Amino acid sequence: MELKLQDLIKILPEAKEIIKRRRIILKTISELSSPGRRTLAKETSLGERTIRNETELLATENLISVSPQGISITSEGKEILQAMEKNFKYVFDFESMEKKLQEQLNIPKVIVIPGDSGISEVARRELGKAGANIFGEMKSNFKSISVAGGTTLAEVASQLVPFQKPELLILPARGGLGEEMELQANSIAAKIAGKLGAKYKLLHIPDAISEKIASELLYNHHVAQVISLIRESEAIFLSVSNINEIVRRGQVEGKEIQLLKEKNAVGEALGYFFNNNGEIVYSKSSIGIKIEDLEKNKMVVLIAGGQGKSKAIEAVAKKGFADILITDEGAAEKILN
């Protein structure tokens, strides 16, 4: 019998976490320019003592080089890391996790990346890269794609590989949310279009406005045209927020917060609030894509991660409009357990 790594992990289950920890350290060193131990600790969310012990061991094995200028990965370390990246999902049975999530959430395709993007910068970048890969695959199949706002979609834009697709139209899924400019759907749409050499149109109006103002704005030809294009877009990338995020950003006020608590809301997407059963329990007037648009013949990619978002992800996914879910190990394990 040939003994494989999977078999060794069964005999020594604690090796699983050790390998994961050393992988994320090697990956962070590889991605950053000669980081110090403090930077490594911050980027990986590992304690400085852990980083010191692990880097000493990795240096002894000639996988990294430590100098006063910082820590760098050696050629042998790069080879080991490449081999780990190639086999990571298989060794740690991520394919089984993805299949279980497909069945539990009734989503055709699920992609799980290692780590927890809620606490790890490396995992956050990997989540963005996974989204960028799917975006790259889709750009040849669709004429128009809408994107929502938020930190995860901003990371997707950052991780996109430049490509010339001048006939593609990129649109913001919603109006401005009043948050940081680089996290707004407009900014993300423009950045993606710039990376892909694509066309884009923006929606320069607040997202949360009264129904009366929204109906009046539709008399403006430019606004009406952009909204029509957004709602007719062939694919959409969106993320989700948990209720704590929404409150922290000031996107709901006192009475609304109390109402959301009473209705047991756990997640939000596109201004719609969902309970644990995937039911919409509240919504805010907004300009852009509506929930009924998602239920039409569109490709919907839901991308979000972190244990803290697990309930929100599950709630939104249960609504049944997502074709692809891109998430991380932290959220996946929490949902499955």
Domain boundaries, the chain: 5-91, 94-336
The Cα–Cα gap between 328 and 308 comes to 11
Domain boundaries 94-336, corresponding CATH code: 3.40.50.1360
Q: Would you say residue 159 has pLDDT above 80? A: yes
What is the pTM (predicted TM-score) of this model?
0.88
Q: Which two tokens stand for residue 198?
A: 């694509």
CB 264, CB 121: distance < 8 Å: no
pLDDT digits (tens, 9 = 90+) for 124-141: 999 999 999 999 888 778
pLDDT digits (tens, 9 = 90+) for 271-297: 899 999 999 999 876 677 888 888 777
pLDDT digits (tens, 9 = 90+) for 328-337: 999 999 999 8
Task: Assess whether the region 5-91 and the region 94-336 belong to the same CATH fold.
Answer: no
Q: Find tokens 């060193």 and name the residue.
A: 29
pLDDT digits (tens, 9 = 90+) for 28-50: 999 888 899 999 999 888 999 99
CB 179, CB 266: distance < 8 Å: no
User: Over the range 291-315, which residues count as b (16 or more CB within 10 Å of their CB) and which as e?
Assistant: eebbeeebbbbbbbbbbbbbbbbbb
CATH architecture, domain 5-91:
Orthogonal Bundle (1.10)
Q: How many residues does this entry show for the chain?
A: 337
Compute the mean pLDDT over every residue in the chain, rounded to the nearest whole number.
Answer: 88
